[in-house]
Amino acid sequence: MKVIVTGGSGMIGKHLSELCPDFIYLSSKDCNLLNYESSLEYFKLLNPEFIIHFAAKVGGLYMNMNHNFDMLHNNLLINMNIMKICKELKIKNFIGCLSTCIFPNNINYPITEEQLHNGKPHDSNFGFSYGKRILDIYCKEMNNNKDYNYVCIIPTNVYGENDNFNLKDAHVIPALIHKCYLAKKNNKEFIINGSGKALRQFIYAGDLAKIIYFLVEKIRMNEIQFQNIICSPDEKKEISIEYIVRKIASIFEYNNVVFDTSFSDGQYKKSVSNKRLKSIMPDIEFSEFDKCLKNTIYWFIENFDNLRK
C-alpha cells in the first residue's frame, strides 16, 4: 500500500517515519499545496492509495493572534486543494490532522468530538480554527460515499524532538525552550508572556505517531467507525504553563524567570476527553511528560545549529 504523508518533514512526520519508513514523506519543497494544479500533477505521478495530511500553516498563540487572516487563507487553500486532489484521484483512505484549539470557546468540559462545530472558536485563533474546521466538513462529505474512509485526528498540544523552535511562530513548549536557552546564554531574564496559569494537555509526538500507525491499518480494513478522534492523555494530566516554565528553567539550571502579565493567556483551559481513543486503543500508554520534555531539550541543545529556528 502506497501511503503519502503531507507535511512529512515536520515533527510528527519525523516521528512517524521511524515507525513507517516505507511511507513517502513530502515537504513544501516537494509539493506546494497552495497551488492546486501543480500539486494534482505531482500526486498523479505518485498514485497513492492512502494520504496522511499534516501540511498546514501553524504557529503558537501570538502567531495566531497577529496573523489570523493569513492562517485562515493559507489553511483554507491547503485543505481545499488536498480534498480536491483526493476526490479527483479517488483516494479511498485518508487521515487529516485537526487540533483541539479549534473547538468552540464557550463549551462544556471535558470537550468531546461531537462539540467541534457547536460555536465559534476563541478570538485569538479564529483564522486557524475555521481553516481547519473546513477539513472536517470535507471529510464528512467524502464519507457520504460508503467506499471512502476519512478520519480526522484531533491532537492536543504536540511536542517533542524535531519541533519548530522559531520564536515568532513556534508552539508553546519549543518557544519556551528556545527563550530559556537564549536567556541563559545572554544572562538575561527568562520573560514569559502571560501569567502562566493557563492549563493545557500535551501529547508527545512519538505517542501520536504510534496512534497514527495503529489507525492506518484499521482504516484500510474499514474497522474505524468514527470520523473524528481526539488524541490526548487523560484530562487529569492537564499541566499549567507555569509548571512547564519552571521545569524548563530547572533543566537549563537557570531560574531568572519573569511573568509579564500584560500579555494574554488565551483560553484558560481546553480540557478534552480521550474516551473515544481509549475505546479504540484500550491498552494505550502515554509517555511521561517530564522525561520527554527533558529529552526534547537535550535534543534541542545537541541539534541547535541545524534545527528549525
Tell me, yes or no, whether 277 lies in a domain.
yes
Task: Give the three-state DSSP class for 166.
Answer: coil
Q: Residue 7 — left, alpha, or beta (φ > 0 → left; ψ -120 to 50 → alpha)? A: left
User: Which three three-digit cell numbers place residue 79?
Assistant: 485543505
Tell me what pLDDT residue 65 has: 60
Burial (Cβ within 10 Å: 0-12, 13-18, ≥19) of residue 100: buried
Average pLDDT of 251-256? Answer: 96
Instruction: Using alpha carbons, list the distances in angstroms from residue 240 to 119, 195, 198, 265, 269.
Output: 25, 10, 6, 11, 9
Q: What single-letter amino acid sits at 132?
A: K
Residue span of the structural domain in which 233 resides: 3-302
Average pLDDT of 172-184? Answer: 96
pTM, rounded to two decimals: 0.94
Mean pLDDT rounded to a whole number for the chain: 93
> Who's near 29: CB < 8 A, 6+ residues apart?
9
Tell me, yes or no, whether 157 lies in a domain.
yes
pLDDT at 125 over 90: no
pLDDT at 194 over 70: yes
Q: Cα(64)–Cα(166) distance, rounded to whole angstroms? A: 14
Distance, CA of 240 to chain centre:
19
Task: Give the three-state DSSP class for 242.
Answer: helix
∠ CA 68-69-75 to the nearest 5 degrees? Answer: 90
User: Which three three-digit cell numbers place residue 127?
Assistant: 483564522
- Give the pairing type, strands 199-200 and 239-240: antiparallel
pLDDT at 61 over 60: no
Tell me what pLDDT residue 146 has: 85
Tell me, yes or no, whether 208 lies in a domain.
yes
Task: Give the three-state DSSP class for 17.
Answer: helix
Residue indicated by cell numbers 516554565 = 245
Q: What is the CATH number of the domain that holds 187?
A: 3.40.50.720
User: Which three three-digit cell numbers place residue 256?
Assistant: 531568572
Q: What single-letter amino acid sits at 295?
A: N
Which residue(s) pair with 164 in the sheet? 308
pLDDT at 69 over 90: no
Q: Is the dihedral of CA 291, 56, 83, 271 positive or negative?
A: positive
State how many domains the chain has.
1
DSSP 62-94: HHHHH-HHHHHHHHHHHHHHHHHHHHHHT--EE
Tell me, yes or no, whether 21 lies in a domain.
yes
Distance, CA of 146 to chain centre:
28
Q: Which helix (H) or strand (E) holds 167?
A: none
Tell me what pLDDT residue 266 has: 77
Lowest-confidence segment of 22-31, 100-109, 237-246 by average pLDDT: 100-109
User: Which three three-digit cell numbers place residue 47?
Assistant: 498514485
Number of Cβ atoms within 10 Å of the Cβ of 188? 13
pLDDT at 173 over 80: yes
Tell me, yes or no, whether 309 lies in a domain.
no
Contact criterion met (CB below 8 Å) for 210 and 292: no
pLDDT at 267 over 90: no
Tell me what pLDDT residue 237 has: 84
Lowest-confidence segment of 58-67, 219-228, 267-276 by average pLDDT: 58-67
Tell me, yes or no, whether 307 lies in a domain.
no
The pLDDT-based confidence of 269 (bands split at 50, 70, 90) is confident
Burial (Cβ within 10 Å: 0-12, 13-18, ≥19) of residue 27: middle
Length in residues, the chain = 309
